Structures are given as structure tokens and as C-alpha cells.
Amino acid sequence: MDKLHMKEVRLSEIAMPLKSAFETSFGVTTARRVIVVRLSDGNGSFGYGECTAMDGPFYNHETVDSAWGVISRFIVPILRRSGVKSAGGVEETLGSIQGNRMAIAAIETAAWDLEAVRSERPLWQLLGGKQTEIDCGVSIGIQESPERLVEKVGKEIASGYQRIKIKIKPGADLDLVSAVRREFPDIRLSVDANAAYRLEKDIDLMKELDEYDLLMIEQPLAGGALLDHSKLQAKISTPICLDESITSLADAKQAVDMDACRIINIKLGRVGGHTAARAIQDYAVGKGIPVWCGGMLETGIGRAHNIAMSTLEGFTLPGDVSASARYWDKDITEPVVEVSPAGTICVPNNKGIGYGVNEECVTGLTVRSETFEL
Ligand code: OSB
Ligand code: MG
């Protein structure tokens, strides 16, 4: 029996209102449009993935609609012609496609789930994961006032989360960070600017942020600005963590070589799926660079893939992998993702991603759907 057999792929766009708006330096998100990918082997087994592209091209160049187009017009025909027989081969099979990593990852991660289900093994074991419990942090959007932010941080700390990341943007930065630090002097705290600052203009602000004993400063400068990040890292002692800048193993190598970052945030969507993510974490282990799993406001499907990835050796810092209930009134998996009072997730041992998908729920939320033979 082939490890992977793909007979049919179904794309379903679902609409999921967030419990509360999430503000970053690039905009406010109140609801997610999510493409749920279901791969079938034609023999009763399914593999699921989700596309983490956002509605608009503001985090990166991709959008829900661009991903839908790339998957249906290009990825599906290439897969159909290829006859690829293992999940580990899907990334290479799609190697002629430039960029569009989130479109690729949606399919690639579903292929890994299907392969794990067909071999009746948990995905995390198939990937070579070592950790059976993973450490969780939270990402808190920009709040209207420092008081409101301090209140939110207090709530997350009380729930057990092991690291707090707060979003910042020009004009909403030092006040927020200093208020949280004053109230919580000892917590593991980081900031994420989503590429909102510029080296020349904002170097003094970066030096001020350097005084708050932050675990890291995530993506302070533009995605393409590796050299500027390296110049900035030379001037501050807080480790820079790159998110938007790292779309491949090649990016990671360049960034580490020029000391543009000392920590890497790995997101399955941003890098094109499990194969690419694993290559980056493997390289990072060799270089002594800690990695952690980023989040894109995923449903339970994306969360389950993030949990599986986080079991790999290099994932030594708490990720943005948190409970479904922080985002959704009702998530689409059963069970939903829950976090222990110690701020950890026990990795499930069921086959595949380990969380069942509630098809009735998916159907109820679907706004468009298309099925392709492979
Ligand atoms: O930069 O990590 C980011 C959400 C959307 C886009 C980019 C980012 C984020 C988050 C949220 O920080 C992480 C999460 O809780 O899913
Ligand atoms: Mg980020």
C-alpha cells in the first residue's frame, strides 16, 4: 500500500467570527475566512489542512482568494500529473510554484495528515517529534489602553500561559510595554511589531525597548530587510526573532549567517508546510538557534498541525499555540484544543492530527465549496 494516495480534494471556505477583534500593526481582524482542505484516498480515509492566508495581503502577499485560485488552478493540476506517493514528496512536487507558501501548506499539511491516518500513526510521531507535552504562550492584540492590556495579561497569566507576547505599532509601544513590565516584573514577555518600524527612524525606540528585559523583539523591521535586522541586532542585546522574513530554509540560513536574528518563529503556512518547517528547525538545532511555533488565528485543524510540529526537537520556546476557546465560541474540531493550568498541551496519540473534524459544523459554516478529482 502506498503511504500516500490522493483521490480527491475538497476545498471549503468557512466563515468564523472571532470572539474579540485582534489588532496588529497591519490591521484589525474581526472574523476569519478559512479554506479547509479535505484530502480523500477514495478508501474512506481523510486528511485535513487549513489555509492560514488572511482576507487581505497585509501580513504577507497571500489572501484567501489568491490561495483558492492557486490551489484550484495550479496545485491540483500539478498533483494530478505527478503521482506523488508520499507526503514528504509533496513540497518538491510543487517546487515550480514561486511564493504562495500558504496555498501550498494547506495541501501539504493535509497530505501529511492523510499519510498518518493511512498508516494509523499520530502525525507528530511520523514527523519525528520527541516532546509529548508542549509549552504554550499567548499573543495579545493591541489594546486601547495600557490598563486594558495589563488586565488582559493578568488573565492569561492566571490561566497558566508561560509566555506573553504583546503586539505593538508606532505610537502604541513603550506605554504598553512599560505598563505590563511594571505590573509583571518577572514574566516571560515579548513584543511583535509585524514589520512596522524602520531602522533609521526608530533606532532610539528600539534601544528603549531593549531596557525591558524582553525575551525577544519579533519582526521589528520590514520582511525583506535582513541586512537592517542584522545592523539592529548589533546595537541591542534583546534577541531579534524573525517571522515575516523567513519563508524558506534559504532565508533562515541567510538570516542566521548575518546575525539578523537569534530566534526563529516557524509558521507552517509561511514556509509551505511540514517538510519546510522541519528543515528549518533541523538547521536551527544545528546552529543553536531556538525556534517556536507561531500562530495565524487558526481553527482546531491548523492548531492540531501546529501542536504536531511543536513536538520536534528544536521547539524549545513556548509557541503561540493556545486554547480554541480564546478565539472561537465553537471550534470545528472534537475535542477542541485545550491548555492545562500549567500552560501546556498534552499531545494526542490518536492517528493523524489527533483531533477529529466535525463535518456537520464545517458544512454549516461553508460559504463556498469545490471538489476536484486527483
Ligand atoms: O505575527 O504572529 C503574528 C496573527 C495574525 C497574523 C500574524 C500574527 C498573528 C498572531 C496571532 O500573533 C497568533 C495566534 O494567536 O494565532
Ligand atoms: Mg509575528
Q: Nearest C-alpha to atom 5 of ligand 1 is from which residue?
A: 296
Segments of 25-154 assigned E as strands? 27-40, 46-51, 133-135, 138-140
Tell me whether the omega of the peptide bond preceding residue 335 falls within 30 degrees of 0, making it cis. yes
- Which residues' Cβ are closer than 6 Å to ligand 1? 24, 59, 139, 192, 194, 243, 294-297, 320, 322
Q: Nearest C-alpha to atom 8 of ligand 1 is from which residue?
A: 296
Q: Nearest C-alpha to atom 7 of ligand 1 is from which residue?
A: 296
By residue count, the chain amounts to 374
CA dist 61 and 258 (Å) reads 25
Give me the helix-helix angle, 226-233 and 199-209, nearest 10°: 40
Q: Residue 2's pLDDT is what?
A: 84
Task: Based on the residue annotation, tell me whether 3 is a catalytic residue of this protein.
Answer: no
Residue 57: DSSP 8-state = T
Q: Where in the chain is the domain with CATH 3.30.390.10?
A: 8-120+356-373
Strands 164-167 and 138-140: parallel
Q: What's the 163 CA to ligand 1 centre distance in angstroms?
A: 14
Q: What's the 243 CA to ligand 2 centre distance in angstroms?
A: 5
Question: By the 8 A CB rule, do 353 and 304 touch?
Answer: yes
Q: Residue 283's pLDDT is what?
A: 98
Q: Nearest C-alpha to atom 13 of ligand 1 is from which residue?
A: 295
Residue with cell 505598563: 179
**How many degrees, rounded to 5, is the angle at CA 96 between CA 91 and CA 97?**
80
Grid cell locating 196: 512596522
Our mutation pick for probing the ligand 1 site, out of 16, 18, 19, 24, counting the most ligand atoms within 8 A of Cβ, is 24
Q: Residue 310's pLDDT is what?
A: 98
Report the candidate in 127, 124, 120 with the shortest Cα–Cα distance to residue 87.
127
Q: Where in the chain is the domain with CATH 3.20.20.120?
A: 126-346
Phi and psi angles of residue 219, each rounded to the nearest 5 degrees, phi first: 35, 65
Q: What is the CATH number of domain 8-120+356-373?
A: 3.30.390.10
305-356 pLDDT, tens digit per residue, is: 999 999 999 999 999 999 999 999 999 999 999 999 999 999 999 999 999 9
Which regions in the chain score pLDDT beneath 70? none
Among 7, 155, 169, 267, the one annotated catalytic: 267
Grid cell locating 307: 501542536
Task: Based on the residue annotation, tell me whether 167 is a catalytic residue of this protein.
Answer: yes
Our mutation pick for probing the ligand 1 site, out of 165, 218, 296, counting the most ligand atoms within 8 A of Cβ, is 296
Q: What is the CATH number of domain 126-346?
A: 3.20.20.120
Q: Residue 94's pLDDT is what?
A: 98
Which atom in ligand 1 lies closest to the alpha carbon of residue 218? 1
Phi and psi angles of residue 16, each rounded to the nearest 5 degrees, phi first: -130, 105
Report the candidate in 315, 352, 304 with the shortest Cα–Cα distance to residue 126.
352
